[in-house]
Amino acid sequence: MPTIAVVEDNADNRLLLQAILGDQYELVEYENGADALTGISGSRPDLVLLDISLPGMDGNEILKRIRQDSSLSALPVIALTAHAMAGDRERFLAAGFNDYVTKPIVDETLLTGAIERLLKQ
Amino acid sequence: MSGMHPVVDHNAIDRLRGFGGPKLVRGMIELFLSNAPIKAADAREALDCGDSAALRAALHGLKSSAGQLGAHSVYQACIAGEELASRGELTPCATHVERIEADLPRVSRELQAIQLEA
């Protein structure tokens, strides 16, 4: 079963993601960037779901450090974001994310489809 | 209470039930009922102290679960207030914090009722 690292400080979002994804994937949860980077470095997941708006080290900084690590640089990373404005997709892709999903999640297939596509690559 | 429109969008609750059944609905409501009053109080304190960063953090913390549970008025107030707080514009944030404080009790009561039925 593929492993997905979920980096999300909000408990109910983690609960929701577990409900949507837990039957198909093993989820490893982190509530902050420092723990996530340590954990991901120690045990590489198959994909990362990364909340953009984390307290302290935000998602963009975490992504930057993932991409700078030669052992992690090719890791698929999906941004979880509450911001969904024109141009956001291009900004996230330009920043190095592989895809993004907006919150609140209203269509789980957008999330599951993105994960499936990236894991096939 | 009679004749008042619901403050929780039951389509959102149905969606959550589709994602993870009654267990998910109960779990998310429980988390909201525990955390939302704390976040609302944090927002009020931050507003009164003039701390835009703390206000932004409190509203951000409340926003996601309010949105996922269909508490639209609270969700929209969080969005608007967080945006203003991120720009340091605290004075207009008061309206949104007041909206949250006004609506949260009824939202909580509706969610408690849903939780019992879930």
A13 touches chain B (CB under 8 A): yes
Query: What residues of chain A lie within 8 A of the CB of B59, using their CB?
Result: none
CB atoms within 10 A of CB B22: 12
Of B27, B35, B67, nearest to A104 by CB-CB distance is: B67
pTM for the structure as a whole: 0.91
Long-range contacts of B72-81, Cβ-Cβ distance < 8 Å, separation of 24 or more: B72/B7, B72/B9, B73/B7, B73/B99, B73/B103, B73/B107, B74/B7, B74/B36, B74/B99, B74/B100, B74/B103, B74/B104, B74/B107, B75/A104, B77/B103, B79/A82, B81/B43, B81/B55
Contacts of B20 in chain A (CB under 8 A): 16, 19-20
For A12-62, write each residue's pLDDT tens digit.
Answer: 999 999 999 999 999 999 999 999 999 999 999 999 999 998 888 999 999
The rounded percent of chain B whose pLDDT value lies above 70 is 96
Q: How confident is the model at residue A121 (pLDDT cuts 50, 70, 90)?
A: confident
Is cis: bond before B37, omega within 30 of 0?
Answer: no
Q: Which residues of B32-57 are buried (b: 16+ CB within 10 A; e: fewer)?
A: bbebbeebbebbbebbeeebbebbbb
The one-character DSSP state at A85 is: -
- Residue B110 C-alpha, separation from nearest chain A C-alpha, in angstroms: 18
Q: At A81, which helix (H) or strand (E)? A: strand A77-81
For residues B74 and B54, give the distance between their C-alpha atoms in angstroms, rounded to a whole number. Answer: 18
CB-nearest partner of B67 from A53, A103, A108: A103
Residue B1, pLDDT > 50, answer: no
Selected residue of A16, A17, A18, A80 to mutate for chain B interface (largest B Cβ count, 10 A) = A16
Q: A90 falls in which pLDDT band (50, 70, 90)? A: confident
Contact state of A55 with B57 under an 8 Å Cβ cutoff: yes
Residues of A in contact with B11 (CB under 8 A): none
Per-residue pLDDT tens for B48-97? 999 999 999 999 889 989 999 999 999 999 999 999 999 999 999 999 99
Put simply, the answer to whether A10 touches B65 (Cβ < 8 Å) is yes
Percent of chain B with pLDDT over 90: 88
Give the HSE-up count for residue A36: Cα atoms under 13 Å, Cβ half-sphere. 30
The strand pairing partners of A77, in sequence order, are A48
